[in-house]
Amino acid sequence: MFPRTQLLSQASGVTAAATILHDDHIGVGQVFHLFRLPEDLEQSLHRILNEPGTQSRIAQMVSSPEAALEGLKKIGSVGVKAAAGPVRAGDLEELRDSTAWTTVAAIYADALESNAQSFPYFADQN
């Protein structure tokens, strides 16, 4: 509830705001995005954030908009373009596949470069 470090406090605040923004554009239900994940994944991420050295690596990655963009580009798939608004990144079964998250990183990177708002999400096709 009350993070122990400045980085965790900042991450908590940014995540809360991003959750609202993504939910407003994508919706809530059988849909997941970077800021609304299944509970087991959120708990795993929280544990990783508390591992020694993780916070300093993250702090470097988000030290500036340019550093964050470069980090997303390193993670992201090549050639993925962002569309404005909600963008389906994959099925729910792909949510736990790390390669699917390279698509998400690429969508966010392209959106940042093109000054667009993209909201990648995972959902089953109807």
pLDDT in tens, 26-55: 999 889 999 999 999 989 988 888 888 888
DSSP 42-102: HHHHHHHHTSTTHHHHHHHHTSSHHHHHHHHHHHSPTT--PPSEEEEEE-GGGTT-HHHHH
Q: Could you tell me the pTM of the whole model? A: 0.85
Sheet (strand 118-123) strand order = 31-32, 118-123, 85-90
* Measured distance between the N- and C-terminal CA atoms of the chain, rounded to whole angstroms: 36
Q: Is 120 helix (H, G, I), strand (E, B) or coil?
A: strand
Question: Where do the structural domains in the chain lie, given as residue ranges?
Answer: 6-123
Name the token pair of 72. Answer: 């997303």
User: In whole angstroms, what is the distance from residue 58 CA to residue 49 CA?
Assistant: 9
pLDDT in tens, 84-125: 899 999 999 999 999 999 999 999 999 999 999 999 999 987
pLDDT computed for residue 19 by the predictor:
92
DSSP 32-54: EBTTB--HHHHHHHHHHHTSTTH
Strands 31-32 and 118-123: antiparallel
